[in-house]
Structure 1
């Protein structure tokens, strides 16, 4: 965090501070929840007076870009959450057509992101992706599917950053918000299936290798093939989960049924005549 702010060279005004922070948020350097340095430290880094800095921070907070937490300093506000309001999230989660459209949209946009990433990734971008893949491999080897699922989102988000397109970056982040909010619950089921987990890992490796190699076409194809697989796997996981649910109910019902003795009349079919 200390290295991302730069000294303001010319007119040291609140507007100059605002523009620098805006750019950092827009470019995805500052993320939702990131905490800014303490006022004194940030003023030194920007080389502005503390009154000027306070005016800038107040302006950014008034516009909803920053938020102040009691005892927690100043953080980047949840600017992504506004893209999909809660009522829309609820509709997407409860309508199969909307969920299918979401996956179709992600297939196309992930392909574009990977294509641009392969063309535009810098040395630092490639280092970031490499570090993420090391962590993904570790989680995969340990069988920690929850961590692997979290790193999955981080990986795709990093690919979006490597594409160096501001609109693409924030569009993707809004899409990933649906995953972190648990809108697609059957997504987690996929990571509990060993065969599917291995294929997901291999596909992430394929995307990563294509980006590192600077092969836009291969990166795009790998990303789209990955999303096709995820779409099928989520459907299969949902069906398998439903089969298991029905099987448990059947077993429970039959177990309880055999423990209940039927009346003699029911067993004979005629009953006692008096």
Structure 2
């Protein structure tokens, strides 16, 4: 990941290299940097120079250090909305459709750029994630599928090789991961959603690998459109089930207890 600094082995040169790794998304929030001795060796700078660089990066809010725990990449993404707006959205689920509409547009752009710019390594990453999604789907592990879903879309954003798009998408997916708009597990109530979504992910990746930007963008749009409709159908199905369960419970509660049959006295002959 790190490369030796060829010329002036200054703190500024070390700062620039680490900043570039954070900006390009190679170093992610929460990633731990190598130990000071190892990192100074990889950069080929003295430890005092490295300490100066790390201190500057920490002052800039890009790194954070933990006593006895090492140095980590700070939460450079941050929330896309303030806590107040997030809470407001949480109280008004109607914002979900706007969120999905936004994702449909921005992810279509990302998929198109990925088809045009992705490297062989990007292709390998996308293919590996699809393989993991296949395994999770076969095992019926919907929680793992949900995690990989976010991971795949992030990888597509990375393959687009646009740092503004990359960090915008990461912030956008944080809301998805936190369940601010919806929880992907709600799709469990849809009879075919998991199978269709997997097939759609495979189609998007196939178009990216083929270098077909238009097809990749359209497949991405169709994917989000399906998710949006599937969520509506899943909610409707869940609502119907809830009403049916309530009716069934009420019927059980209202059934009168069986009465004992009257005894018939025998008549004398």
Give the secondary structure class of the aligned counterpart of 1:56: helix
Distance in 2 (alpha carbons) for counterparts of 1:237 and 1:74: 44
What does residue range 148-159 of structure 1 map to in structure 2 within 5 Å? 148-159=145-156
Q: TM-score, normalised by structure 2?
A: 0.90
How far apart are 1:258 and its partner, in Å? 3.0
- Would you say the 8 A contact 1:186–1:234 is kept in 2? no
The answer to whether the aligner puts 1:101 opposite 2:122 as a matched pair is no
- Would you say the 8 A contact 1:186–1:238 is kept in 2? no
Distance in 2 (alpha carbons) for counterparts of 1:194 and 1:33: 37
How far apart are 1:192 and its partner, in Å? 5.2
The answer to whether the aligner puts 1:142 opposite 2:131 as a matched pair is no
Aligned to 2:28: 31
- Would you say the 8 A contact 2:190–2:230 is kept in 1? no
How far apart are 1:135 and its partner, in Å? 0.4
The answer to whether the aligner puts 1:234 opposite 2:228 as a matched pair is no
Gaps of 5+ in 1: 262-274
What does residue range 62-211 of structure 1 map to in structure 2 within 5 Å? 62-191=59-188, 193-211=190-208
Q: TM-score, normalised by structure 1?
A: 0.89
- Would you say the 8 A contact 2:105–2:221 is kept in 1? yes
How far apart are 1:255 and its partner, in Å? 2.4
How far apart are 1:191 and its partner, in Å? 4.1
Aligned length: 258
Please identify the structure whose Cα radius of gyration is greater.
Answer: 2
Gaps of 5+ in 2: 259-269
